[in-house]
Amino acid sequence: MEARIEKIKQQLQSQAYKLTPQRESTVRVLLEHEEAHLSAEDVYMLVKEKAPDIGLATVYRTLELLSELHVVEKLNFGDGVARYDLRNENHRHHHHHLICGKCNSVEEIMEDWLIELEERLENEYKFQVLDHRLDFHGICRKCRVEIQK
Amino acid sequence: MEARIEKIKQQLQSQAYKLTPQRESTVRVLLEHEEAHLSAEDVYMLVKEKAPDIGLATVYRTLELLSELHVVEKLNFGDGVARYDLRNENHRHHHHHLICGKCNSVEEIMEDWLIELEERLENEYKFQVLDHRLDFHGICRKCRVEIQK
DNA sequence: ACCTATAATGGTAACAAGTAACATCATAAG
DNA sequence: CTTATGATGTTACTTGTTACCATTATAGGT
């Protein structure tokens, strides 16, 4: 935990940004809720518990900053709210989502299946891939079992 | 053109919806701007040219309706605006996007590269895929040439 | 230590996309 | 020709996010 905070601190400082108490509280919330796909509002509520004086705008600014530094990934599942995920080592930016239309759960697939495709894009389309996003919409295992009952 | 309108009319009627003049104008705009990834506001402006009396809410309602009937596909590129694409035969729902971070252009790739992956999801994860979404973010050929200058 | 420039913050107003409410108009069935 | 229902246009509203601005914290230079 502390090691990861330290690392993020260095990432910030390398771009001349400071790890202020507010930013640290925000990062801690993200660390404590990995894989949770928190919205900005969610993060705000959680940070408020520890640092009640923080302002909503600061949370938005921090998330935006961390997003630019690629510390978090800003996701959008089409429901009108941006969600923010920490990018750790195992779980870089290359993962995919299984979004269930019944229960709205989001499962993550950690493998990166698109390496070959990205090479093809470079060669055939001359498109330089910086990032990608792959979401599958459908029905998850649990809901399929439910339906069969 | 007229044939496609007729087909959409039947799709609507099969669910007891009518192809009102406003809906027809909206569909015509979509037909005339295929591949354009229009936002609701874009559609509204374009429909206004032909049918100045149409209301914004009607356009939203129509796009929503067409989306439910799978006549159009509602897309979200993460910029906070929903975009609407007609689904024609060639161009079902399986296509991918190359989104350029410099010029914000969106190119489409018509091939479906994910058939094998969807089979793996069915088998290994027991996830029933109904739809998917694959976007690549990066720098397009044109902008790469610009940068080299 | 003391200025001073700059960064960061909190509160709030503003914004924009989308939705809900509601009165009016159109239409199809009896 | 009436009546129930569908569809529309206007407008007010909601919600996520950003812009603004006065205040506070911080780091360097003297």
| pLDDT tens, position by position, A7-31 | 999 889 988 899 999 999 999 999 9
Residue of B nearest to A123 (CA): B141
Q: What is the pTM of this model?
A: 0.73
The alpha carbon of residue A9 and the mean position of all alpha carbons in its chain are separated, in whole angstroms, by: 18
Look at residue A134 and give its three-state secondary structure: strand
Looking at chain B, the whole-number percentage of residues with pLDDT higher than 70 is: 91
Whether A78 has its CB under 8 Å from any CB of chain B: the answer is yes
pLDDT at A101: 64
Q: Is the CB of A25 under 7 A from strand C?
A: no
Is residue B101 over pLDDT 80?
no
| pLDDT tens, position by position, A35-71 | 788 999 999 999 999 999 999 999 999 999 999 888 8
Q: Which nucleotides of C are covered by protein (CB under 7 A)?
A: 7-12, 17-21, 27-28
Please report where in the chains the tokens 């698109």 appear, as a residue.
A114
Dump the DSSP string for B12-72: HHTTT----HHHHHHHHHHHHTTTS-EEHHHHHHHHHHH-TT--HHHHHHHHHHHHHTTSE
| Beta-carbon separation of B138 and A127 below 8 A | yes
Whether B121 has its CB under 8 Å from any CB of chain A: the answer is yes
Mean pLDDT of chain B: 86
Mean of pLDDT values over B93-113:
75
Mean of pLDDT values over B108-134:
83
Task: Tell me the two tokens of residue B98.
Answer: 């190359």
Q: How far is the CA of A113 from the C1' of D14 (A)?
A: 40
Residues of chain B contacting A109 with CB distance shorter than 8 Å: 125
Largest CA distance in chain A: 58
Please report where in the chains the tokens 């399929």 appear, as a residue.
A144
pLDDT at B91: 47
Is residue B89 over pLDDT 70?
no
Mean of pLDDT values over A70-75:
88
